[in-house]
Homo-oligomer: A and B are copies of this chain.
Amino acid sequence: MALPPTLQTIARETSTSVSTVSRVLAGGALSRRISEETRERVQAAAVRVGYRPNLVARTLRTRKSNTIALLVSDIANPFFAQIASLIEQSLHRHGYSLMLCNSGEDEAREIQYLQLLTQKAIDGLIVVPISRSKKQMQERIPAGVPVVVLDRPIPGAHASVYSDQLQAANLLCDVLERAKVKRVALVAGPSHIYTHRCRAEHVTARLNVVVRHEGPAQRETGRAAYIQFLDARVDAIVCTNNFLGQGIIDSIAEVTAPPVIGVFDEIPMSHLLPIPIVAVCQDIPMLAEACVNQLLPQLNGEAPLAGSVVLSSRAITNRAFQLYH
């Protein structure tokens, strides 16, 4: 159970002092003000005893933990899972660890996690916010902490990275209009969530929405919506995210003259589904990359590259859609 070696250990080992050892191992400018000879002795000893700096102590001293928090609504959502994976890999290359936080769309949880930021000396935050106003965010996030707001912009408050929902909605509507849909049903996620509200509003503005269902952005809501829509004789169902779309598709038993499904984000395996689907997909790799690009400069004390990064989506139609239309 030998305790891990510390600077002390090496200092004793080399008959020098803790500060000398620290300077040598810090590298860079400081280590060059140390004699060649002791420097090598210290370095040799360090590898000999297998020295690893205690990052907790370092954090306490420097107030930097080399840790970033990623606060998303639910990592089980493949959209966030893919982003998280890419962010983690990129941050890891830059020497940062990732603390994963699920808010579950629960404001109380979000607040709890935001408090941990200071307490754990987290260096930066990438957040899919629940809090809606700039004011709320600024109250809750300790001033000076580098923040990137993901997926749901908060005007003016922070660096942000998101998809242009208007462009996405227009893309979807374009395709549906060209397909000559007349009556559309809308199944929407909670309207207090920016992306869902935004998508729903734009679609409603452009298309003839004759019936509508709102609920949590889960499959179950899609299934409930399907039942509600049963005798509405719609020729398209638009869903404000992929989970809702999957719920709808889950419910479809008979595929005789199915409505077109218009959906935001990807529907897996859609190309072979015997239902016409048009999915408007966000650029996940770019979103992840932009987050890191917005965050790193802030961590180094520079201003972020740009106030916000707005990305375009692209529409993907499956084979059944192309067949029907």
Q: What is the interface of chain A, defined by CB distance below 8 A to chain B?
A: 1, 4, 52-57, 59-60, 65, 67, 70, 74-78, 81-82, 84-86, 88-89, 92, 97-102, 104, 109, 115-116, 118-121, 143-144, 246, 249-250, 252, 255, 267-275
Contact = CB atoms under 8 A, between A and B. Distances in A.
16 contacts: A54-B121, A55-B116, A55-B119, A56-B59, A56-B119, A74-B85, A75-B84, A76-B85, A77-B81, A97-B101, A246-B268, A250-B271, A255-B272, A268-B268, A272-B275, A273-B273
Chain copies in complex = 2
The SS class assigned to the A binding surface is mixed
A86 B74 CA distance: 10
Contacts of A267: 269
B89 A85 contact: no
Given A77-B81, A81-B81, A97-B101, 16 more contacts: A54-B121, A56-B65, A67-B99, A70-B100, A75-B75, A75-B85, A76-B78, A78-B78, A78-B81, A89-B102, A97-B99, A99-B99, A99-B100, A100-B100, A267-B269, A268-B268
Q: Give me the 10 closest cross-chain CB pairs, A-B, nearest first.
A: A81-B81, A76-B85, A100-B100, A268-B268, A55-B119, A269-B269, A75-B85, A76-B82, A56-B60, A98-B100
Contact of A102 (B57, B88, B246): B88
A144 B78 CA distance: 35
A112 to B, nearest CB: 8
A117 to B, nearest CB: 10
Contacts of A121: 54, 56
A84 to B, nearest CB: 6
A116 to B, nearest CB: 7
A52 B268 contact: no
A65 B97 CA distance: 15
Given A75-B84, A88-B75, A118-B52, A269 B252 contact: no
Contacts of A101: 88, 92, 97-98
B271 A272 contact: no
Contacts of A249: 269, 272
Nearest to A4: B118
Nearest to A112: B92
Nearest to A250: B271
A81 B89 contact: no
Given A99-B100, A104-B89, A120 B55 contact: yes
A99 B120 CA distance: 12
A235 to B, nearest CB: 19
A282 to B, nearest CB: 15
Contacts of A274: 272, 274
A104 B275 CA distance: 35
Contacts of A115: 52
Contacts of A82: 76
